[in-house]
Amino acid sequence: MENKTKKVPTNTITRDTKNLAAPTGNIYESVVILYKRANQIALAEKKELNKKLEDFRNERDTMDEVFENKEQIEISKYYEKQPKPDLVAISEFENGDLFYRKAGEEDA
């Protein structure tokens, strides 16, 4: 994914709500934009992870008998260390990398 190449903090930092509200003029609109983008990122990461882990599944796996190998654990740890989707969304929003528009607006 494209967000893995950018430097995004992996910890939560305090942000000024006035700065988050500035691009839209309304903090609630900004929060909805951030929520929708974070959800997109989370779904894309989940799809990517499931695709990678699909190679390790076999038909014999049951709830009682699950075999894990080193590669599978490393892939899972890699995704656990990634920045949370909401932090990526906020970073994109603050850097102006996030495109959004209101419903009903016409493209110019």
pLDDT digits (tens, 9 = 90+) for 64-79: 455 667 888 888 888 8
DSSP string, 8-67: --SS-----HHHHHTTTT-HHHHHHHHHHHHHHHHHHHHHHHHHHHHTT--TT--SS---
CA distance to 17, 46, 96, per residue, from 26 (Å): 10, 30, 16
User: What is the DSSP code (8-state) at residue 1?
Assistant: -
**CA-based angle 58:63:64, to the nearest 5?**
105
Rounded mean pLDDT, 59-68: 55
Q: How confident is the model at residue 1 (pLDDT cuts 50, 70, 90)?
A: very low
Q: What percent of the chain has pLDDT over 70?
A: 81
Q: Count other C-beta atoms under 10 Å from residue 68's C-beta.
A: 9
Is 28 among the domain residues? yes
Is 32 among the domain residues? yes
* Total number of domains in the chain: 1
Rounded mean pLDDT, 2-30: 80
Is 106 among the domain residues? no
Q: Which comes out higher in pLDDT, residue 26 or 55?
A: 26
pTM: 0.74
Domain of residue 42: give its range: 16-56+66-95
Model pLDDT, residue 42: 95
Is 48 among the domain residues? yes
Which range, of 22-26, 60-64, 78-82, 104-108, averages the lowest pLDDT? 60-64
Residue 103 CA, chain-centre distance (Å), reads 23
